Amino acid sequence: MINKIWKKTLLVNLFIVLFALILVRISFGEPPQGMKCYVIPSGGLTLPKEFLTGFSGLGQKITIPISTYLVEHPRGLVLVDMGMRCDNKPENYRNSVQCKDADLVNQLKKIGYSPEQIKYVILTHLHVDHSGYVNSFPKSVFFIQKDELNEANWPSSYEKGHYWPIDWTKLKDFDVVALEGDWDLFGDGSVKIFRTIGHTRGHQSVVVTLPKTGSIILTGDAVYLPEILRGTMPGIFWNAEEFVKSVQRVKLEKERTQGQIFYSHDPEQFKTLKLPPEYYE
């Protein structure tokens, strides 16, 4: 009798230990096997460098890449940012856009997907070079900060030139989650949104954690060049104080995850990245 009780107690304790280990695994956000992340080229922009680095680089021109990211997760496909349309852009951008490989729908088709297959779209912000193909994804659920939606629809006078509402006229009819802070998309730590305001009123960045590569921080325009991480102030921002705080948060996120940063507009880093059909896993 005592032996049976002892065995039952042992089994119960083993179950508790196993359950605790599962909870620990979940809390640490072990990414599911089979996850992939594609870096998709979406054209580029040629512009004065001081637009990106304040008074540094006055008189220089720089051609920057525009990237979008596709994450394959067992529970659905996720697109982070949506590039810039070459056939529909504001006048102040028309002479600066590089259109090679810019069409996001065609780029997805090369990988083997259509807009209808994208379950979630995360927009770091709604500037013209990050939200160009919104209207082409009516089946997706969009994750955007509430403050960004407000600013994009009623922008301050100095922000109007960077938003292009024609690109997202249908957004009001789509399924939109208006965030007011951080969000764990799948609840497993593999795709996490964190608020990084400053470049815009409602900017957000994304950490993608992959089984083999580890964590990749998709900064959006919170840190679009490595100089920004080293303390250079950008030429385009909504609030300088909040921008500096968000740069610090990106640094802390990098330290916390021991991950790597993918800058949104760094031409030198872009040359080193894997592009489709290659991917990170």
Report helix, strand or coil for 97: strand
Question: CA 147 to CA 179: how far, in whole Å?
Answer: 8
pLDDT on residue 8: 54
Amino acid type, 58: L
Domain ranges of the chain: 31-270
Tokens of 279: 């991917």
Helix (H) or strand (E) holding 147: helix 146-153
Residue 207 pairs in a beta bridge with 192, 217
Q: Identity (one letter) of the amino acid at 249?
A: R
Q: What are phi and psi of 113, to 5 degrees?
A: -130, 160
Which 3 state secondary structure label does DSSP give 116? helix
Reference 216, options 253, 271, 248; nearest CA is 253
Residues 6+ positions from 181 with CB-CB distance below 8 Å = 195
The CATH class of the 31-270 domain is alpha beta
The full DSSP string for 5-36 is HHHHHHHHHHHHHHHHHHHHHHHTTPPPTT-E
What is the C-alpha separation between 56 and 48, in angstroms, rounded?
10
Look at residues 204, 186, 208, 183 and name the one whose alpha carbon lies nearest to residue 195: 204
One digit per residue, the tens of pLDDT, for the chain of length 281 reads: 555 555 555 444 444 434 433 433 444 458 999 999 999 999 999 988 888 887 777 778 899 999 999 999 999 999 999 999 988 777 777 778 888 888 999 999 999 999 999 999 999 999 999 999 999 999 999 999 999 999 999 988 888 889 999 999 999 999 999 999 999 999 999 999 999 999 999 999 999 999 999 999 999 999 999 999 999 988 889 999 999 999 999 999 999 999 999 999 999 999 999 999 999 99
138, 144, 148, 154 alpha-carbon torsion, rounded to 10°: 20
Helical H segments across the chain, by residue range = 2-27, 50-53, 104-111, 146-153, 226-229, 240-257, 267-270
For the chain, the straight-line distance linking the first and the last C-alpha, in angstroms and rounded, comes to 53
User: Residue 153 has which token pair?
Assistant: 């629809």
**pTM higher than the cut 0.75:** yes
- For residues 148, 94, 39 and 64, what is the CA-based torsion angle, rounded to 10 degrees? -100
